[in-house]
Structure 1
Amino acid sequence: MMNDHTSLVRAAIEEAQLDALLLAAPSNLGYVCGFFANPHERLIALVVPLAGTLRLVCPSLEEEAARTAVGGDVELLVWRDEDGPDDALRRALAGTGATIGIEKQYLSVANAERAAAAAPSARLDACDDVIVRLRAVKSEDEIAALRRASGIVDRVVEHLVALAEPGVTEAELSAEASQQLRAEGGESLAFEPLVLTGPRSALPHGHPGATRLAEGDLLICDIGVFVDHYAADITRTFVVGGSPDERQREIFEVVHEAERAGIEAVRAGVPAHAVDDAARSVIAEAGYGPRFIHRTGHGLGLEVHEAPYLTATNAEPLEAGMVVTVEPGIYIEGWGGVRIEDDVVVGEDGPELLTSAAIGLPAPLGVEA
């Protein structure tokens, strides 16, 4: 199964000199045993011992969904709201060993204290990196899911360009993107579609609002979708109607060149910062270095933002099978912003592009700048 990585996780536990893992992050639970849930405020946790049956601490309202997802391979310890999870967690952790790994970057202080009380003789150590390293390298099945998701965002971002007429609001285009991402086969949105126009396009993570598109304005469309639990993420920048002016074209070409340079740098064995260096140097040489205000990219998988992160300081080498975004941008307050983003598989000999929607400033569909 694509989402059953128990044997890989157990090998990593042994290498990390841990006796068991206590996992609560929904994406990690899904990765190990195939059960994906939104816990809200209730504790859902998976105990992965070095040997023996996995144990899932689960609230009663999720019991049926959990049994359907995991079959008979995982022991369920079900708790009811009136009882709380403490006894179920104590039973799940019984006999697991002296050192238990927990997700310090996810687990709340309250639930960490609950785990400590449930296994008072055990030491709780951080295990975040154990799972992060495993999830960063994708199998062929995982890449196939990412490829399907990429096809959806390709089609939908091009659909948005065709609808981007003067007078339409950011919020209307964002709502259309949400509907189309699902209509095309997406199971859920990776984030609220980001559609920003005019000077507001200089907000890398702004929220679509009532601003209406005007002819000649820049328009950034950043959308993402999950397919089979794996996320694709794409950004395109256009000019609404007419032709781009000289400044728009100049900045767009700088960003496009930076993206091409970043993508070309993606290959197994290079440090993650080499991709950031390649894209950032193009923008810096054009005189816009201070206007590139975020990392060049991030990993994609069960979360839309995950390792590896393409930052100026990340010296970890990229590995074949990792999937990353490359998304340089230039943002000028009061004028607008340009960002171009594609999804890329790290290969031994170079990059494989997953996304392929047309890149170009003019609005006509499929026309290259």
Structure 2
Amino acid sequence: MSGLFARSEYEARWQKIHEEMAGAGLEAALVFGRGGGSYDRCGDVLYLSNYYSCASGQEVDNPLNTARSFSAVLLQLGEAPELIIDEPDPRHELLAVSRVSGHSDPITAAGKALAARGISGPVGLVGADFLPVKYWRLLKEAAPGTNWVEDERLVQRVRRIKSPAEMERFREGGEIATRSLNLLMEGLVGGVSEAEAVAEAIGELRRSGAVCQMIPVAHGENISRWATEPFSGAGMTVPAQGDLVRGWLDSIIFEGYWLDPGRTAVAGGKPDADQKALMENCIAIVDGVIEAIRPGATVHDVARIGDVLSARFSEGDSQMNDQWPLYGHGTGLYWEHPYIGVKMSEPDDHFEAGMVLGIEAFLHVDGVGTAAHEQNLIVHADRNEIITNSPITWW
């Protein structure tokens, strides 16, 4: 599975982004990406070119190589995209672009490619939020006099609405995520260690052509934290009968596209009354938010519905509530705007048909624990299509 769409898919993307550039008064744009194990910032370059670096994102600069795992797409109105990468010989049949060059220092190479164009107008810079200061200096030295204009959402504004081909890829990814999450929760409920349950879930992902960033799980006294073991995401311990257990795919990555469903249950499958109420109320928050989402609805209005439901059911706070005061986010080639929280989105942001979302809730009750729940869905003009279909309850 290459992840490559039909050529027409990429041409439509380039055209939409050229329109965004023209509307912003940009003559050109340089779009950076970082791969090599750092999946979180490869999305824009992957979207434009289907390129992903195989280099490790952990390599340090040396006399031969600089900025391993970084790449860039140079866009100019009226011109075909140019891809500047950190590898000497990529698989060209997997790329959407024909203008490709490999370099031991892709940052300097990108700057020189831009300078060679003789562009006098404003140039959009996409990726400034993860481009190190050292590499920014290299870029400026290679392209002196450039009128840089930072625009982190130039590509994301186009990415947020998925094409029919992307929706089909998400549906296939949703089927894989469902099978994987089922195995994870069956293990956690059924009496194996966190690590063993995660191993089964990862095995299903890999057999199906997907990968994951992390599968964080927690149980017992650590249920109010994102993961029992922060480094690996899963510990070697076996949940005790009656422990709350939580499993999450954070995230399944299928041909570049991300899904991140999660569930909460009880080891042994027999929750007490308080545990059952906690989990059912958490599910009710997610269901209430999903019901409110429709094209044209503002993100703030929907987030406030989540706030009202959370206030009704919660007693106390947890690590997850503190760091994620939200009810979901856009998803695509990793997390995307909007973030569905009053503190994390713009007042005028709204939902549109064609978005793919992760809708989630974290609910804590002192003396009982923390439940969490997430669904992935596609927003349509007349409905919301759930694409992760693991059981809602595990008792």
Q: Deviations over 1:5-37 (max 9, x none)?
A: 211111111111111111112211111122222
In structure 2, do the counterparts of structure 1 residues 214 and 317 end up closer, same or farther at CA, with 3 Å as the change threshold?
Answer: same
1:113 aligns to 2:113 (yes or no): no
Separation in structure 2 between the aligned mates of residue 337 and residue 112 of structure 1, nearest angstrom: 42
1:263 aligns to 2:294 (yes or no): no
Contact preservation (8 Å) 2:110, 2:139: no
Partner of 2:219: 197
Give the C-alpha shift of residue 92 in structure 1. 3.9
Show the 5 A alignment for 1:154-165: 154-164=178-188
Partner of 1:330: 363
Matched AA of 2:121:
A
In structure 2, do the counterparts of structure 1 residues 196 and 307 end up closer, same or farther at CA, with 3 Å as the change threshold?
Answer: same
Partner of 1:168: 192
Matched AA of 2:360:
E
Separation in structure 1 between the aligned mates of residue 150 and residue 360 of structure 2, nearest angstrom: 31
Partner of 1:358: 391
In structure 2, do the counterparts of structure 1 residues 329 and 187 end up closer, same or farther at CA, with 3 Å as the change threshold?
Answer: same
Matched AA of 1:258:
I
> What is the RMSD of the two structures over their aligned residues, measured on CA atoms?
2.2
Contact preservation (8 Å) 1:252, 1:338: yes
In structure 2, do the counterparts of structure 1 residues 87 and 30 end up closer, same or farther at CA, with 3 Å as the change threshold?
Answer: closer
SS at match of 1:327: strand
**Correspondent of 2:328 among 261, 285, 297:** 297
1:215 aligns to 2:245 (yes or no): no
Separation in structure 2 between the aligned mates of residue 203 and residue 339 of structure 1, nearest angstrom: 11
Separation in structure 1 between the aligned mates of residue 140 and residue 193 of structure 2, nearest angstrom: 51
Contact preservation (8 Å) 2:218, 2:227: no
Contact preservation (8 Å) 1:60, 1:80: yes
Give the C-alpha shift of residue 85 in structure 1. 5.2
In structure 2, do the counterparts of structure 1 residues 60 and 330 end up closer, same or farther at CA, with 3 Å as the change threshold?
Answer: closer
Give the C-alpha shift of residue 317 in structure 1. 0.9
In structure 2, do the counterparts of structure 1 residues 34 and 93 end up closer, same or farther at CA, with 3 Å as the change threshold?
Answer: farther
In structure 2, do the counterparts of structure 1 residues 45 and 3 end up closer, same or farther at CA, with 3 Å as the change threshold?
Answer: same
Contact preservation (8 Å) 2:44, 2:155: yes
Partner of 1:136: 160
Separation in structure 2 between the aligned mates of residue 85 and residue 262 of structure 1, nearest angstrom: 43
Contact preservation (8 Å) 1:328, 1:340: yes
Contact preservation (8 Å) 2:50, 2:95: yes
Matched AA of 1:226:
I
Give the C-alpha shift of residue 70 in structure 1. 3.0
Partner of 2:17: 9
In structure 2, do the counterparts of structure 1 residues 54 and 254 end up closer, same or farther at CA, with 3 Å as the change threshold?
Answer: same
In structure 2, do the counterparts of structure 1 residues 356 and 215 end up closer, same or farther at CA, with 3 Å as the change threshold?
Answer: same
Q: Deviations over 1:36-88 (max 9, x none)?
A: 22553324211111122322222343x333x33336x432233246xx75356
Matched AA of 2:47:
Y
1:78 aligns to 2:109 (yes or no): no
1:186 aligns to 2:219 (yes or no): no
SS at match of 1:341: strand
In structure 2, do the counterparts of structure 1 residues 15 and 358 end up closer, same or farther at CA, with 3 Å as the change threshold?
Answer: same
1:280 aligns to 2:307 (yes or no): yes
Contact preservation (8 Å) 2:378, 2:386: yes
In structure 2, do the counterparts of structure 1 residues 85 and 158 end up closer, same or farther at CA, with 3 Å as the change threshold?
Answer: closer
Show structure 1 runs of 5+ residues with no match.
Answer: 363-369
Give the C-alpha shift of residue 221 in structure 1. 0.8
Partner of 2:93: 68
Give the C-alpha shift of residue 334 in structure 1. 7.1
SS at match of 1:340: strand
1:309 aligns to 2:339 (yes or no): yes
SS at match of 1:220: strand
Matched AA of 1:101:
G
Contact preservation (8 Å) 1:225, 1:231: yes
Give the C-alpha shift of residue 287 in structure 1. 4.2
In structure 2, do the counterparts of structure 1 residues 186 and 308 end up closer, same or farther at CA, with 3 Å as the change threshold?
Answer: farther
Contact preservation (8 Å) 2:189, 2:269: no
Give the C-alpha shift of residue 297 in structure 1. 0.6
Aligned residue pairs total 354
Separation in structure 1 between the aligned mates of residue 252 and residue 303 of structure 2, nearest angstrom: 25
Matched AA of 1:15:
G
Q: Which moved more, 1:162-171 or 1:214-223?
A: 162-171
Separation in structure 2 between the aligned mates of residue 234 and residue 318 of structure 1, nearest angstrom: 20
TM-score (norm 1): 0.88
Separation in structure 1 between the aligned mates of residue 209 and residue 339 of structure 2, nearest angstrom: 25
Matched AA of 1:34:
N
Matched AA of 1:309:
Y
Residue identity (%): 25
TM-score (norm 2): 0.83
Matched AA of 1:345:
I
Partner of 2:63: none
Q: Deviations over 1:81-135 (max 9, x none)?
A: 6xx7535631344223321111221222222222222221211111212112111
1:349 aligns to 2:372 (yes or no): no
**Correspondent of 1:96 among 119, 122, 128:** 119
SS at match of 1:111: helix
